[in-house]
Amino acid sequence: MSSFRLIVKLVVAPMRRSPGRAIVTALGVIAATCAVVWVVSGYDALVSNFDENADKYLGRYDVLVIASDGPPGAPATVIDRELIKALEQDAGVLEVNPVSNYRVTATRVSRDSDAEVAKTSLGLLVGDRPPVNGAPPIGPTLVSTPAAESPYEMTSGRWLGADHETESAVVAKQVAKEMQLSVGDEVQITTFGNQVRLRVVGIVQQVTEMPALGGGRDGNKRGRSESDEVESGLVSLRPPRDTATSSRTQPDPQNQIGIPSGFGMGVATNAIYVRPEIAEKINGYPADPRVLQVALRDAVTISQFREVWSERLALQYPPLRLVDFEAVRRGMASSRSVSGQQSQAWAATGMATLAAIFIIFSTLSMGVTERARELAMLRAVALTRIQVAGVIAVECVLLAMIGWVGGLFAGGVMVMVGSRILPGLFSSGAVLGWTTVGLTGLTVVVGGFAAAILPLWRAIRIEPLGAMATLRELPRYRWCVTMDIIGVALSAATPITVFALPMSDSWRSWCYSFVTYPMLLLGMILLAPAIVVGSEHVFGRFITMILRLDGRMLKTQLSSNLWRSVGATLALSVGLGLYASTQTWGYSMLVPFTPGDWLPDAIVAFHPLGLAAEDEPMVAKVEGVKSDQVMRLAIEQAQFDWGDDQPPSRLRFGDNGIICGLDPHKAFATANPMLPVTFVAGDKAAAIEAIASGRGCVVSEDFSMATGLHFGDVVTFIPPAAETERVAYRIAGVVSLPGWQWVTKFSGVRRHFVRTGTLLFANYSDVHRDFHLNRSEFFWVNLEPGAKLAAVERQFQAIAERRSGETFTADAVGDVKAYRPFARMTVTENVERAIKMRADGMIWGMSYLPLVTLAIMSLAIVNTIIASVRSRTWEFGVMRSIGVTRGQLMRLVLAESLLIALAACCLSLTFGLIAGWCGVGMAQFGGWFAGPPSFLIPWGQLSIGFAMTITLCVLAALWPAFKTGLAEPLHLLQSGRAQR
């Protein structure tokens, strides 16, 4: 016990004598803990509300009846009306509310007094146009309900009335908030069938998170039929086109378009409620029930109801199932929001742990270096190695505990105040729960113990005779050279693994994640001494010139205390390096998704009816359109048929393609082509001839790389309108098509599936016939310079409305009446702007945590500068005595901080470029992008991080610089003498 008290005194005494370093370290750990609290409190808020949210989700009902899990993303099952009647006649059932969810586009009808709102990325691409299959569900969901009373608590207004002719709606509270709606406002609902304005009569309270009750995100996939296999080559199951056509030998299959559906099951939480009659008018087809909300009588339990109805529901086709409170609660726990918050929580914990490691490490390491003579004397007098180790361990635990407790307190205040002042920072709410306490504790425990290992090892190696020797350590440059060679080799292993070594995709991904990426991190650590010394030599002369200092003052400032400088550089590089790699990877990945110059100005989709042959010439007559730059397209989205082979692993997220039929002479002409694409395989003239003569096609470069299909190979499709048939095309060319993904995503050409694998060009007549297309729905157009986009789109809309009131056939729905057909004009320039806006938001969203870590790590620089000033106090006193001014001394301290900042920038840039480049290369092995890797260095974005680093380092050095500069020479000499 007495030994422990002695150790505590040996720890506390230096802290009381020089509290600055301990205070800075504690602040650093507190800041790291606060970062974890900021992120994890959102997860705790979700978890703490599971029971309440599950109860709110059910509303005044006890159970839901929904379809069992079917194909991912498929339309919900229609529930038999006879079953609903049977449920209503059950003596234990109080009420049955049949509802249906519909994907729509909802926009607020602006008032004259409204200020102009800046366009968002989704506003540019979607606006008030109907939803499309390629885009995920965006905005509110239309819900039809005949319920006489509100299923949920009303916050304002009233529930839907009994007058079905009144076009009114009730919206969820979060919808009203997002769209800035209040009772009495109008909301415009747009679908493939109509566009209707509804008056908001009430607002209901609903949960913000929808439970994961089933469903998926991969599109409306059909199963493949087990028909006769297609022969190799270009043979189709239909007779050849020169002897017969399908229409002559069999009834022509009816081509159908897929109505965009949602990805969740159950009742939507971001709902706009309407009566079924209004929903039918909006959609153009009957509002068939797809979910049942069932309220039980008080005397009936859910278990009793389940016992009576579970088996009967399971025997329905497709099978139905019951969802009660417990199922909803489990769905809340497994929702995407919760899993996303979990990932963010662990990421924040990891970054904060690294911050704690470096901050505590810098304090302990500098303490061991400065107190080496003191520790040696203590060893000579009485202390054992274990007691010396105890001094380091107790100091580590004390700093960690102060940081943890202080961080929890500061984090609690931040959560409490911030959630009221800046609620946007806590979008999921904020609760200081046990998960927050546990992960913050894990952060400081792991960080503290990891930080103590090396200083503890150095302390116990100090010999008693060390008190008689000069303990200033000089760097061993022979070891530095060895470290540099090993570091280069380890760093080079990552790009070699990604781009050079032949191996399977799965093994490459595993090797990259668990072997070579950690090797890259270790390589950067080993290269840090060389980068620090190199930065000192390269940037030292420029800094001395700018600050007007004698170059000899800064010549060996970092290298003479190399390991301290390396520690500070690595501390800054944790956040800055991750920031640089995120920015490099993000903007490099943006290159192949940005629309290229090969695209025409706009693609116009006449949904859902297309244009009759007599209406097609009107497209070229639209004012603002170049009349000679209009090309009609025959477009279908169909699954691939790989025969007996497995689908390529790199296409697992899009096992279908978009076949675009066009006029090859107009599209690829040598002079003034509509599609000035770059051929990477095959000859343009030969490709034009192959497509024009029939059965030839041109594919995108990324599709060729993903599938291994090259020039001369055959691509086979399954027509959605005739799944027993097969359509085959021979590849006559491979072209580069940057940006095809986003253009097809929002233009409506993804007629059946959410994701797709390629854009393929073939002959218009072949595609139109092979896939049983009816009218031409799509046109590529080039616009006159200065054309008004809104005016051009209005003219296209007038052409589309010539077919108002006609019907079309939709997948899983049947006949749909198009009260108001639509002309969707997707402008290439708008797509590019929207991608840039969206990408900036996402990439910067991923960069917040690294920048927060960088700010926390700047406190390690304060410790470094304090240690440097303390170790050079005698030197500074001598310099002041021989004529060095206060200003020069201050600038000298700032110069050291600037050198460390520039070394960190160089190390982070090296790591960021290598990691970002390799990350782009790994994307082609992940199954979601298989094109050639691109590499872009976003100097503008990187300069923001570098400027922030330099600024933080300068700010960190201000206090030590002013303190040193204002000290008198005699005081500096006396303090330095005492330390020596």
The answer on pLDDT for 647 being more than 60 is yes
The answer on pLDDT for 465 being more than 70 is no
pLDDT at 841: 86
* Alpha helical stretches, state H, 708-827: 740-746, 764-770, 789-800
Q: Please give the average per-residue pLDDT across 182-209, as a whole number.
A: 91
Q: Please give the average per-residue pLDDT across 593-597, as a whole number.
A: 89
pTM for the complete prediction? Answer: 0.81
Span of 237-246, 273-282, 748-757 with lowest mean pLDDT: 237-246
Residue identified by tokens 């940081």 is 403
Q: Report pLDDT digits (tens) over 707-726.
A: 889 999 999 999 988 889 99
> 927 falls in which pLDDT band (50, 70, 90)?
low
pLDDT: is 290 or 811 the higher one?
A: 290
- The overall average pLDDT reported for the chain is 83
> 224 falls in which pLDDT band (50, 70, 90)?
very low
Q: Which helix (H) or strand (E) holds 294?
A: strand 291-296
Q: Report pLDDT digits (tens) over 94-119.
A: 999 999 999 999 999 887 666 666 67
Considering only CA atoms, which of 645, 808, 739, 633 is closest in space to residue 194? 808
Q: Please give the average per-residue pLDDT across 355-376, as a whole number.
A: 74
Burial 937-967 (b: 16+ CB within 10 A, else e): bbeebbeebbebbbebbbebbeebbeebbeb
Residue 476 DSSP class? -
pLDDT at 549: 81
| Residue 442 backbone zone (phi > 0: left; psi -120 to 50: alpha; other: beta) | alpha
Q: How far apart are CA 77 and CA 291, in angstroms?
A: 8
Residue identified by tokens 């169909």 is 638
Q: Report pLDDT digits (tens) over 130-157.
A: 888 877 777 899 999 999 999 999 999 9
Q: Report pLDDT digits (tens) over 61-99.
A: 999 998 875 544 455 678 888 999 999 999 999 999 999
Q: How far apart are CA 537 and CA 539, in angstroms?
A: 6
Answer yes or no: are the C-beta atoms of 543 and 898 closer than 8 Å. Answer: yes
| Residues whose CB is less than 8 angstroms from the CB of residue 620 and which lie 6 or more positions away in sequence, other chains included | 627, 628, 630
The answer on pLDDT for 391 being more than 80 is yes
3-state class (DSSP) for residue 784: coil
Hey, what are 747's tokens? 């233009």
Q: How far apart are CA 568 and CA 897, in angstroms?
A: 10
Q: Report pLDDT digits (tens) over 813-867.
A: 888 888 889 999 999 999 999 888 888 888 988 888 888 888 887 877 777 777 7
> 426 falls in which pLDDT band (50, 70, 90)?
low
> 892 falls in which pLDDT band (50, 70, 90)?
confident
The answer on pLDDT for 2 being more than 70 is no
Q: Please give the average per-residue pLDDT across 624-633, as a whole number.
A: 93
pLDDT: is 819 or 338 the higher one?
A: 819
> 250 falls in which pLDDT band (50, 70, 90)?
very low
Q: How far apart are CA 457 and CA 455, in angstroms?
A: 5
Q: How far apart are CA 754 and CA 136, in angstroms?
A: 8
Q: Please give the average per-residue pLDDT across 754-767, as a whole number.
A: 92
